[in-house]
Amino acid sequence: MLPYWRLSAYYFAYFAFVGAFSPYFTLYLQSLSLSAADIAILMSLMQVMRVLAPGLWGWMAERFGVRLPIVRASALLSLAGFSLFFYLDSFAGLFAAMALMSFFWSAALPLMESVTFAHLGADAHRYGSIRVWGSVGFVVAVLVLGYALDRLPVATLLWVIATVLLGILGCAVAVPDVGGAGEHRESVSLRATLARSEVRALLGACFLMAAAHGALNVFYSIYLVEHGYGKAVVGWMWTVGVLAEIAVFMLMPRISRQWTMRGILLFSFAVAALRFVLIGWGVGSMPVLVFAQLLHGVTFGAYHAAAIAMVNQWFPGRLQSHGQALYGSLSFGAGGMVGGLASGYTWEVLGSAWTYTLGAGFALAGLAWLARGWPVSQGKNEN
């Protein structure tokens, strides 16, 4: 039987960490008097390790036929790495702690996605109903912390994140194992899969979509606070985006019956370009910011659901771990790293508005790559 609640609990805890870490850890780093460039470098280490580590972990999972033991070990070692933040405040020390935590934390999600699809089997369409609990975890964390940090010292964040990491470890232990990563071998090779133009176009476009989100992920909370919004408002703004994401995840089975995955992805990239222009130039208007956050349902919810569905389809059987690792490494890893580092330097040189406009440019480039590399005729055959 599908361990629905145990899988859902893992996603809840995993993305509760993201909800506590991504929007607010930049505020903790800012409290240590670090520059925008230093903050961008530190936060981009998460993406750097998502480039380097998933391939190694995916190879180990296939080589030794284990996935969940690696997920569990990564949770324990991530907690150990994060504990160093309690004792360090220099840039060099923070850099080492972030690198250590990120290296192990990056192992978890691609392998857990593979485990989830292995449990789902022929019911892969139910993925959204499990993944949506990750969005719920994000909302709970970002909203509660938004109010809490208006009243408590920002250093309280360290204790909250450490507790969430401990919860991730508990959930990883509770998830039952499933067949080894090397089972169900397929005749298709990784090289043949990557030779397909639509596969390369999707992976390249995903890189650019993650780069487009770089400034949002690194500076959005700082951006709002600097323009006079309170931390509770920051929490609500993140929450609005993820509530839209949840709605789209729940509607994806219906949406996918009306649209091809190619069509969903192209629409998502076009909306992303609009969203980042609105954020960059409309920060003085609450209605504009709220509308831009509602678009997160498209620029992440619909985008991620469609992209991961195609990865699952194009990388079957033994290639599943490789496909998930490539998707994570090239998009959230390499793309997030490039977008985060670029925003760290343009933020101080060009200003926030042009930094978000650069993000819109990344999205448009991804739209062009996807439209050119994934033919319409091929897209009609993808469900």
- pLDDT greater than 80 at residue 189: no
Q: Three-state DSSP class for 285? A: coil
Of residues 357 and 313, more confidence is placed in 357
- pLDDT greater than 90 at residue 295: yes
- pLDDT greater than 70 at residue 94: yes
CA quadruple 160, 166, 171, 177: dihedral positive or negative? positive
Q: What is the pLDDT of residue 252?
A: 85
What is the rounded distance in angstroms from the CA atom of residue 174 to the CA atom of residue 72? 10
Q: What is the pLDDT of residue 382?
A: 60
Of residues 22 and 79, more confidence is placed in 79
Q: Contacts by 189-196 with C-beta closer than 8 Å and gap 24+?
A: 190/315, 190/319, 190/322, 193/314, 193/315, 193/319, 193/323, 196/314
Q: What is the pLDDT of residue 320?
A: 75
Mean pLDDT across 286-294: 96
Which residues are CB-contacts of 55 (< 8 A; sequence separation ≥ 6)? 325, 326, 329
What is the rounded distance in angstroms from the CA atom of residue 79 to the CA atom of residue 65? 25
Q: To 10 degrees, the CA torsion angle through 7, 143, 40, 33?
A: -130
Which residues are CB-contacts of 102 (< 8 A; sequence separation ≥ 6)? 45, 46, 48, 49, 50, 53, 81
Half-sphere exposure of 198 (CA within 13 A, CB side): 19
What is the rounded distance in angstroms from the CA atom of residue 290 to the CA atom of residue 288? 5
Q: Poorest-confidence range of 6-15, 255-264, 326-335?
A: 326-335
Which stretch, 116-130, 132-146, 321-335, has highest mean pLDDT?
A: 132-146
Q: What is the mean pLDDT of the chain?
A: 88
Q: What is the pLDDT of residue 188?
A: 65
The DSSP 8-state label assigned to residue 86 in this structure reads G
Domain ranges of the chain: 4-176+188-379
Q: What is the pLDDT of residue 2?
A: 82
Q: What is the pLDDT of residue 181?
A: 46
Q: What angle do CA 348, 152, 76 make, to 5 degrees?
A: 80
Of residues 378 and 144, more confidence is placed in 144
Q: In the structure encoding, which two tokens stand for residue 278, read together?
A: 């609105």
Q: Poorest-confidence range of 111-115, 184-188, 229-233, 287-291?
A: 184-188
> Quick one: 4-176+188-379 is in which CATH superfamily?
MFS general substrate transporter like domains (1.20.1250.20)
- pLDDT greater than 80 at residue 25: yes
Q: What is the pLDDT of residue 182?
A: 46
The DSSP 8-state label assigned to residue 259 in this structure reads S
pLDDT band (50, 70, 90) for residue 224: very high
pTM of the model as a whole: 0.76
pLDDT band (50, 70, 90) for residue 201: very high
Amino acid at 185: R
pLDDT band (50, 70, 90) for residue 231: confident
- pLDDT greater than 70 at residue 177: yes
